């Protein structure tokens, strides 16, 4: 955590362009262009119709490079790259892949799940998290990828990662790659399952960051294997603060402390604090949003009682308020996946989420009121508001 004075935001909040919402789905990707008032929206797509797109990200450092993590039916995984906001795409020359094992029994990437642009001081650097759990880095804008850090060969990490028997239904994942905006060598990632991990030396070593987190009753809380972080976000407004939506609740961690606090205890008991996405406010470190889901008994993974709502905290998790104006009042049995809710950089903040039923919802007043801006899309996997460079083109 060196050079704390070198704070550098990934975009310039004072002059962000109208947002483009990057929507990754089970059957392709869409770019949803908003006007300056965020009142009118225009769908550009589908891109990659029929391909599974797990994540679509714009490089905030150049405002024009898009990366798409793709898998196609039974074909192997790849990454597509565009430098003209999706007008044309080119496949990565070397997608994320594990090193070849001498005995031929090594792991193989099933799909790239998570994409994170690198630190502003490292243009062209990107990180990728995969299923099964792997951490990869590109230094050429996503064209070639190499295994990153020793975790792939570390016997502890390999044990903590578990097997496909231990992972999420479509495979165990490495996700939530978070870069400290003050220090490119300070990064975090999370594994489902396998816990939250931190590196302070540019990925040469990682260590678990689990104190205070709960696990399912009956399992060893000291063993990272049993930890299932769903989404971890570093606060852009205070990078010493992390928020986490976990299989076992909502947490906050304030560094240099190392003990997570279960702030989800303050959620209404009838709603609970289980969910997948976690969103931190771009300018207010005490403000965050979650999207609770029904995590009772067999885990229906629907909105609790069929009544979807975003919950927000304005005090770092001491209290939570329900935000459901404009959302269905009843009989809405969808939910929101871990990458499918995020904030733009405008003031007031725009929030966006995509549903498992293919609807894209937007709020231009920090969650107070919601409008459905697209429906009938495939199951939405990821929603990333982006602010392209003006010269990147508006297709």
Which stretches of the chain bind other proteins, using CB under 8 A? 72-76, 78, 91-93, 95, 97-101, 104-109
Minimum CB separation of residue 99 from other proteins in Å reads 8
Cβ neighbours for 257, distance < 8 A, ≥ 6 positions apart: none
Closer by beta carbon to other proteins, 36 or else 93: 93
> Least separation, in Å, of the C-beta of 94 and other proteins?
8
By C-beta, is 148 or 226 nearer to other proteins? 148
- Read off φ and ψ for residue 366, nearest 5 degrees: 65, 25
H-only helix segments in the chain? 155-161
Closest CB 79 distance from other proteins, rounded Å: 10
- To other proteins, the closest distance from the beta carbon of 162 in angstroms equals 19
**Token pair for 138:** 């590109």
Residue nearer to other proteins on the CB measure, 93 or 325: 93
Tell how strand 20-25 and strand 380-386 pair up.
antiparallel
Which of residues 97 and 242 has its CB atom nearest to other proteins in the complex?
Answer: 97
Cβ proximity to other proteins, 3 vs 91, nearer residue: 91
What stretch of H or E contains 128?
strand 126-131
Could you tell me the smallest distance in angstroms from the CB atom of residue 219 to other proteins? 31
In the numeric block, which tokens belong to residue 356? 């498992």
CB atoms within 10 A of CB 301: 17
Q: How far apart are CA 203 and CA 393, in angstroms?
A: 35
Q: How far is the CB of 298 from other proteins (least distance, A)?
A: 21
Contact between 208 and 196 under an 8 Å Cβ cutoff? The reply is yes
DSSP summary character for residue 160: H
Q: Which is nearer to other proteins, 134 or 316 (CB)?
A: 134
Cα distances (angstroms) measured from residue 157 to each of 153, 174, 207, 246:
8, 12, 10, 19
36 alpha-carbon distance from chain centroid: 25
User: Pick from 8, 29, 37, 64: which is nearest to 387 by CA?
Assistant: 64
Q: Which is nearer to other proteins, 72 or 369 (CB)?
A: 72
Minimum CB separation from other proteins for residue 158, in Å? 15
For residue 139, the cross-strand partners are none
- Smallest gap from residue 173 Cβ to other proteins (A): 18
Q: Which is nearer to other proteins, 78 or 235 (CB)?
A: 78
Closest separation in Å from C-beta 85 to other proteins: 21
CB of 51 to other proteins, least distance (A): 9
Total residue count of the chain as it appears in this document? 395
Cα–Cα distance, 179 to 192 (Å, whole number):
19
Burial (CB count <10 Å: 0-12, 13-18, 19+), residue 26: middle
242 dihedral zone (left: phi>0; alpha: psi -120 to 50; beta): beta
Query: 36 or 101, CB closer to other proteins?
Result: 101
Sign of CA dihedral 363, 313, 208, 132: negative
The CA distance from 76 to 68, in Å, is 14
Measured from the CB atom, is 169 or 218 closer to other proteins? Answer: 169
């Amino acid at each position: 955590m060196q050079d704390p004075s070198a704070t550098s935001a990934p975009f310039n909040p004072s002059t962000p362009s109208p947002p483009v919402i990057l929507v990754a789905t089970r059957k392709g990707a869409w770019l949803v262009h908003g006007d300056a008032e965020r009142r009118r929206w225009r769908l550009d797509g589908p891109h990659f119709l029929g391909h599974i797109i797990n994540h679509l990200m714009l490089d905030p450092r150049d405002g024009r490079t898009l990366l798409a993590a793709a898998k196609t039916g039974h074909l192997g995984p790849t990454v597509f790259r565009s430098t003209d906001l999706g007008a044309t795409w080119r496949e990565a020359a070397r997608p994320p892949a594990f090193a070849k094992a001498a005995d031929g029994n090594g792991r193989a990437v099933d799909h790239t799940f998570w994409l994170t642009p690198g630190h502003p001081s490292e243009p062209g650097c990107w990180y990728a998290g995969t299923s099964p759990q792997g951490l990869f880095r590109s230094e050429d804008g996503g064209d070639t990828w190499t295994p990153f850090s020793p975790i792939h060969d570390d016997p502890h990490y390999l044990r903590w990662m578990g097997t496909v028997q231990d992972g999420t239904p479509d495979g165990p994942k490495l996700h939530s790659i978070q870069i400290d905006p003050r220090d490119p060598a300070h990064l975090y990632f999370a594994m489902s399952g396998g816990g939250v991990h931190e590196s302070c030396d540019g990925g040469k070593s990682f260590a678990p960051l689990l104190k205070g987190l709960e696990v399912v009753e009956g399992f060893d809380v000291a063993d990272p294997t049993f930890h299932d972080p769903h989404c971890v976000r570093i606060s852009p407004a205070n990078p010493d603060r992390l928020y986490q939506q976990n299989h076992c609740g909502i947490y906050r961690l304030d560094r240099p402390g190392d003990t997570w606090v279960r702030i989800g205890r303050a959620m209404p008991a009838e709603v609970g604090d289980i969910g997948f996405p976690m969103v931190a406010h771009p300018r207010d470190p005490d403000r965050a949003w979650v999207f609770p889901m029904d995590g009772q008994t067999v885990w229906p993974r629907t909105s609790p009682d069929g009544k979807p709502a975003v919950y927000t905290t304005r005090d770092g998790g001491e209290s939570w308020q329900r935000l459901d104006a404009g959302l269905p009042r009843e009989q809405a049995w969808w939910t929101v996946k871990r990458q499918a809710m995020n904030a733009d950089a405008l003031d007031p903040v725009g929030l966006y989420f995509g549903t498992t039923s293919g609807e894209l919802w937007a709020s231009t007043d920090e969650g107070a009121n919601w409008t459905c801006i697209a429906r009938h899309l495939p199951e939405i996997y990821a929603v990333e508001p982006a602010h392209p460079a003006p010269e990147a083109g508006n297709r």
